[in-house]
């Protein structure tokens, strides 16, 4: 029997096919995790917009911002030059109506306590008492950079 008449897949063809599949799968994994992290940032921005609307409404009605008065926060990542230094407070989200948030619900845990915010309970939104800029204290990492608030001129991060 002549070797040219034999049919089938050679080992080299099989190895090349597997390597190509692995490369494509690796690229898909990288890009899907990047898209997932981008989605997390956009969720945080959406939360901040909802909270900002609720805080504005609360401020108009009560002439004060809805904060946990006995819990102050030290925050050094401010991006707003109008922020008063070290005047950050945890937002009492129970006073803001109709919120459907993805992050920042730990205010319920620390609501009954007094004193400084425990670093293990940093899944909260804070507000600067002067500029009313809202920050997500935990932050979200994307491409080796941390995001804490919505930029002043925000369209989309990418």
pLDDT (tens digit per residue) in 70-84: 666 777 777 777 777
pTM of the predicted structure, to 2 decimals? 0.68
Tell me the helix, strand and coil percentages in the chain, rounded to 5.
40, 15, 45
Full domain range(s) for residue 68: 10-147
- What domain count does the chain have? 1
pLDDT 10s digits, 99-152: 788 887 666 666 555 555 454 557 788 888 888 888 888 888 888 888 888 876
Question: Going along 20-119, which residue ranges are E strands?
Answer: 67-73, 88-91
Residue 4 is predicted with a pLDDT of 62
Question: Does residue 156 fall inside a structural domain?
Answer: no
Question: Does residue 22 fall inside a structural domain?
Answer: yes
pLDDT 10s digits, 94-111: 888 877 888 876 666 665
Strand, coil or helix: 127:
strand
């Amino acid at each position: 029997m002549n070797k040219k008449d034999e049919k089938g897949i050679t080992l080299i063809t099989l190895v090349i096919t597997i390597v190509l599949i692995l490369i494509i799968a690796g690229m898909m994994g990288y890009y899907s995790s990047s898209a997932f992290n981008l989605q997390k940032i956009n969720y945080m921005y959406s939360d901040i917009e909802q909270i900002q609307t609720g805080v504005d409404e609360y401020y108009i009605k009560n002439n004060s911002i809805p904060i946990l008065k006995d819990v102050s926060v030290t925050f050094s990542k401010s991006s707003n030059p109008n922020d008063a230094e070290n005047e950050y407070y945890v937002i009492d989200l129970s006073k803001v109506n109709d919120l459907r948030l993805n992050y920042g619900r730990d205010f319920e845990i620390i609501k009954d306590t007094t004193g400084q915010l425990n670093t293990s309970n940093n899944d909260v939104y804070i507000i600067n008492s002067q500029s009313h800029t809202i920050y997500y204290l935990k932050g979200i990492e994307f491409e080796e950079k941390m995001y804490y608030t919505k930029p002043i001129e925000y369209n989309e991060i990418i």
